[in-house]
């Protein structure tokens, strides 16, 4: 069962072999990738010569866009990972995923308003949205297993109903979840942007909350990867991805597994809502925006693959932020451009295994 690697990147050894094998197979691409990484590191760490500044503008702008793209990618990853997990295991295209994100954001806001505490908002959003996901799975998806078109249409319909219900409860206003005191303001990073005439270096000042949220999403991503590749439940999930019928036949309570994964994926989207509400804002319309972002991310990364979701989220985040700085007029087009390129040259997604 484990011999075939799942779309999540396979086992640990599998992944290691994969990377080495990939380098052996495509030495040129590997070399280019390595060069790009070195160039990027140099751009971030070095003192820019005038020539570079003429091409890319001030270093601060470039480095900030880079950081912003990466941290925005963290948020996209949190939303998209639930989507891709649910798809990978159950082949359920849940187009109400954006509604779960928005619902989580509103719950987080309400919790923070009621208690004044930020961290409990994550717990509340995770638990309640997970329950909503559980209901969605047991009441809707279970009755139309394998009928993808029906699922798609039903979830589009549900997302419209949810949007109206949330408009009814929370109104058309936009909400911002206040950043807690200990996360407010900027932090100085040991990256030199410029040197003042008196030789004193100017360091990059970056919003603390974005760094913390990015770190958290990395931790979640790594834990998820470990959970899927190293635990028994993860093994069952991978087996389910490969061959559902065979797994069910071997006595595993597969419906329970489905319900759990669905709830977990939904809960992640809910938590992402709190994150989004903290460093951006939540309002009607954010549901479709994040559904679209998740779709683009998983199409770029490869449906059902968690490392793919991470890579896709990173690329889309960077495309958006660099676009908004260097070509603001066409910023909106950029993320779709990435998607179009991927669809043209690698339609199965960058990190899809099949």
Partner 1 sequence: MKRIFLGATALASLALAAAAEAADKIRIGVTATLEGTYTVLGEDGMRGFEVALRKWNRKAGGKDLEIVVASTDATPDSAVRAVRKLVEQDKVDLVISPLSGSEGIAVRDYAHTQPQMTFVNAASGAQETTFVNPAPNFFRFNMDGAQWQAGLGEYIYKNKGYRRIATVGEDYSFVYTQVFGLVLEFCGLGGQVVDRKWVPLGTKDFASIIAALPDNVDAIYLGLGGADAVNFLNQYAQAGGNAKIVGGSIMVDQTVLSSKGRAKELLLGAVAASGQADTWEDPRWQAFVEAYREAFPPDKRFASPSLLATNYYNSASAVFTALDRINGDLSDGHKKYREALQNLVLDAPNGKIRLDHNRQAIGTNFVTEVVQDKDGNLVSKVVKVVENVNQTLGFPEDVFRKIGPPSRTNPECKKY
Residues lying near partner 1 in the complex (CB under 8 A) are found at: 57-58, 60-61, 63-65, 68-69, 71-72, 172-176, 178-179, 184-186, 205-210, 279-281, 283-285, 289, 320-322, 324-325, 328-329, 331-332
CA–CA dist 146, 92 (Å, integer): 8
CB of 198 to partner 1, least distance (A): 16
The residue among 122 and 322 lying less far from partner 1, judged by its C-beta, is 322
- DSSP-assigned states of every residue in 267-292: HHHHHHHHHHHHHS-B-TTHHHHHHH
Our CB check for partner 1 shows the closer of 120 and 284 to be 284
Give least dist CB 61 to partner 1, A: 4
DSSP-assigned beta bridge partners for residue 315: none
Q: Which is nearer to partner 1, 152 or 281 (CB)?
A: 281
Q: How far is the CB of 171 from partner 1 (least distance, A)?
A: 8
User: Least distance in Å: CB of 314 to partner 1?
Assistant: 15
Taking Cα atoms as reference points, which of 264, 227, 332, 279 lies closest to residue 75? 279
The CB-of-325 to partner 1 minimum distance in angstroms stands at: 5
**DSSP sequence for 42-100:** HHHHSPPPHHHHHHH--HHHHHHHHHHHHHHHHHHHHHHHHHHHHHHHH----TTHHHH
Residue among 82 and 323 whose Cβ is closer to partner 1 = 323
Neighbours of 51 (CB within 10 A): 8
Query: What is the rounded end-to-end Cα distance, in angstroms, of the chain?
Result: 16
Using the minimum distance from each CB to partner 1, give the nearer residue, 251 or 328: 328
Nearer to partner 1, 209 or 303 (CB): 209
Q: Residues 124, 258, 265, CA angle at the centre, nearest 5°?
A: 35
Provide, rounded to whole angstroms, the least separation between the CB of residue 185 and partner 1. Answer: 6
Contacts (Cβ under 8 Å, ≥6 apart) of 284? 102, 163, 166, 167, 172
Between CA 194 and CA 58 the distance in angstroms is 9
């Amino acid at each position: 069962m484990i011999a075939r690697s799942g779309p999540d990147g396979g086992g640990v050894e599998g992944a290691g072999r994969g990377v080495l094998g990939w380098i052996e197979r495509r030495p040129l691409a590997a070399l280019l990738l390595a060069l790009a990484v070195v160039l990027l590191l140099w751009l971030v760490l070095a003192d820019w010569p005038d020539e570079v500044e003429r091409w890319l503008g001030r270093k601060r702008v470039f480095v900030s866009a880079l950081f912003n793209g990466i941290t925005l990618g963290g948020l996209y990853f949190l939303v998209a990972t639930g989507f891709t997990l649910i798809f990978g295991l159950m082949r359920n295209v849940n187009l109400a995923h954006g509604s779960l994100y928005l619902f989580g954001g509103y719950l987080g806001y309400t919790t923070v308003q009621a208690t004044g505490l930020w961290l409990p908002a994550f717990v509340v959003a995770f638990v309640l949205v997970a329950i909503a996901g559980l209901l969605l799975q047991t009441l809707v998806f279970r009755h139309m297993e394998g009928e993808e078109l029906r699922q798609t249409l039903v979830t589009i319909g549900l997302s419209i109903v949810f949007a109206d219900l949330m408009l009814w409860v929370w109104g058309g206003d936009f909400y911002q979840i206040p950043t807690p005191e200990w996360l407010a303001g900027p932090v100085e990073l040991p990256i030199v942007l410029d040197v003042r005439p008196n030789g004193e270096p100017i360091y990059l000042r970056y919003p603390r909350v974005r760094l913390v949220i990015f770190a958290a999403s990395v931790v979640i991503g790594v834990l998820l990867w470990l959970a899927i590749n190293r635990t028994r439940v993860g093994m069952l999930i991978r087996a389910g991805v490969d061959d559902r019928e065979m797994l069910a036949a071997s006595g595993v309570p597969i419906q329970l597994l489905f319900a759990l994964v669905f709830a977990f994926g939904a809960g992640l989207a809910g938590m992402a809502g709190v994150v989004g509400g903290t460093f951006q804002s939540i309002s009607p319309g954010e549901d479709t925006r994040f559904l679209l972002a998740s779709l683009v991310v998983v199409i770029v990364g490869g449906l059902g693959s968690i490392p793919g979701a991470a890579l896709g989220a990173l690329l889309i985040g960077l495309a958006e932020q660099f676009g908004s700085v260097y070509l603001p007029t066409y910023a909106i087009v950029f993320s779709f451009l990435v998607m179009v390129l991927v669809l043209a040259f690698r339609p199965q997604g960058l990190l899809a295994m099949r």
